[in-house]
Amino acid sequence: MPSVDSEWLIQAICSSSQDPQQRLLALFDILAEWLLSNQDKSNARNINPLADEKQTLLNFLIQESTHARAASPEALAYQLFFMAKGALHEAIRMPQGEAFTQAKYAAITLIKAQTSNTPSKRVRYSIALLSTVIITALSSYLLLKNDIATQATPHTQQSLKTNLNNKPSPAEMAELYKKIELMRSGVCRFPEALMLPDKLKSVYIENIVQGVPSADTSDTQLMYDLLKQIQCDYAPMLMKNSK
Amino acid sequence: MGSPLRDKILDVAADLFQTRGINSTGVDTIVAVAGTTKMTLYKYFNSKEELILEVVKKNHQDFNEWLANALNKSAKKPEDKLQKLFDCIEEWITASTFKGMASLKASAEFPNEENAVHMLSAEQARQFRQFLTALAVDAGVKEPEALSLQLSLLIEGSIQAEQIKRGSGAIKHAKKAAKLLIENALN
């Protein structure tokens, strides 16, 4: 395939966001949209926007990975570049497939792996976990108090009370954090059993979905259980333009 | 089928397709390098397209056989085989005999979905993903198809990059990525 200059791609990525992590993810959205808008054009299939003969795009990805505080920016840049190349190739071969969606999921995993141990991320990780506490404390209080909780089976009430004293393992806490982060990119539906009063719902959305820190501490097991019941739809969010 | 001359033509064609491109390599060049004649080539292959299809099929078959063997040797448990997958892929890619993946070259040079070469390449990609999915299922991955697609994209992307710049050492980054994606999927 003839190659094209990567400059247009870099410009589009820079326009999409100021945040380096969002820029890295925007690579996939922009390529997906480029392919979608060029599918009917016969010459599009012969153009390779990722040929990158002068490594301009790769260098840009290394730069953004550095700004994103990746532990190994060069490794991350190459990994994302490979994912994008593979996704483009596959998406051309199978336009109805999920190539870019899965490539982006993979990118999220790879970026997280490189950035979750940097000090600022550690602090934010702790704050995000701490932020679940108010929800845990308030929701467990209200669930036990209100009509929905009283309609629960004795077993449920018992397990709620028991769960309050169980601390999640590090793997469960990582899963919790992952779920919270992932929820931010999706459109989520809360089961009826979790129809909390408006005040609690807004705190829940503010602290969990939007990740605004709060300052209290308690057991997160109940939040973990509640989060497991939330169904989220990610595909439309992943494929839309980054602002 | 098992004629040495036929095999020689296939080998030479595979090499030239890889280094110069499929469309850029004429039959004249193939027979000249193979030290034979066009008449002989057309005795074994009805057309250039048939030759291309045979090269792509053979490359895919060689790879599949090699990989299955390498994985079986490397580990017994399915989750361990999954972890070893990219070690094996790396070994295949960095071998001095590595000629690239004919399937990737084929789908890049034949973008028309109705073309026989394109269809073969798409079918091979599908089969490879099925193989990865089965590996993931056996290893107990919760979303095996998602992981197999992610891994196949990673493999394709890194092979393309390696084909462009051999020995760049970038494969080690892909290997690390594979391990992270597999760990993520297993947890």
Q: Judging by beta carbons within 10 Å of its beta carbon (0-12, 13-18, 19+), is residue B185 exposed, middle or buried? A: buried
Position A193 scores a pLDDT of 42
Chain B residue numbers with beta carbons less than 8 Å from the beta carbon of A98 are 146, 149
pLDDT of A242 above 50: no
Position A152 scores a pLDDT of 46
Average pLDDT, chain A: 72
Q: Does B187 touch chain A (CB under 8 A)?
A: yes
Which residue ranges of chain B lie beneath pLDDT 50? none
Q: Does B132 touch chain A (CB under 8 A)?
A: no
Q: Does B177 touch chain A (CB under 8 A)?
A: yes
Which site among B93, B126, B133, B150 would you substitute to test the A interface, given the most A Cβ atoms closer than 10 Å to its Cβ? B150
Position A67 scores a pLDDT of 97
| A-chain residue closest to B123, CA distance | A93
Position A97 scores a pLDDT of 87
Give CA–CA dist B65/B69, Å, rounded: 6
More confident position, B39 or A37: B39
pLDDT of A219 above 60: no
pLDDT of A25 above 60: yes
Cα B131-B69-B134 angle, rounded to 5 deg: 20
pLDDT, tens digit, for every residue of A177-186?
Answer: 676 766 666 6
pLDDT band at residue A73 under the 50/70/90 scheme? very high
Chain A residue numbers with beta carbons less than 8 Å from the beta carbon of B156 are 85-86, 89-90
Contact A87, B154 (CB under 8 A): no
- Chain-centroid distance of CA A215 in Å reads 23
Q: Do A79 and B121 touch (CB under 8 A)?
A: no
Provide the chain A residues 174-193 that lie in CB contact (below 8 A) with chain B. 175
Give CA–CA dist A109/B147, Å, rounded: 12
Provide the chain B residues 35-94 that lie in CB contact (below 8 A) with chain A. none
Query: B178 CA to chain A: closest CA distance, Å?
Result: 9
Query: B2 CA to chain A: closest CA distance, Å?
Result: 33
Nearest in space to B67 (alpha carbons), one of B57, B50, B82, B55 = B82
Q: Does A217 touch chain B (CB under 8 A)?
A: no
Position A102 scores a pLDDT of 96
Determine if residue A8 is left, alpha or beta; phi over 0 gives left, psi from -120 to 50 gives alpha, anything else beta: alpha
Give CA–CA dist B71/B134, Å, rounded: 13
Position A203 scores a pLDDT of 55
| B-chain residue closest to A98, CA distance | B149
Position A187 scores a pLDDT of 60
Q: What percent of chain A has pLDDT over 70?
A: 42
Position A93 scores a pLDDT of 80
pLDDT, tens digit, for every residue of A159-171?
Answer: 433 444 444 566 6
pTM of the model: 0.67
More confident position, A62 or A49: A62
Distances (CA, A) of B96 to A64, A196, B13: 34, 63, 18
Query: Which span out of A53-57, A148-152, A173-177, B132-136 was modeled with the highest average pLDDT?
Result: B132-136
Mean pLDDT over A205-218 rounds to 52
Q: Does A99 touch chain B (CB under 8 A)?
A: yes
At A233, is the secondary structure helix, strand, or coil?
strand
Give CA–CA dist A114/A66, Å, rounded: 10
pLDDT, tens digit, for every residue of A92-141?
Answer: 888 888 999 999 999 999 999 999 865 554 555 566 666 666 666 666 66
Residues whose CB is less than 8 angstroms from the CB of residue B17 and which lie 6 or more positions away in sequence, other chains included: B25, B52, B55, B102, B105
Position A49 scores a pLDDT of 77
Position A241 scores a pLDDT of 41
Position B180 scores a pLDDT of 95
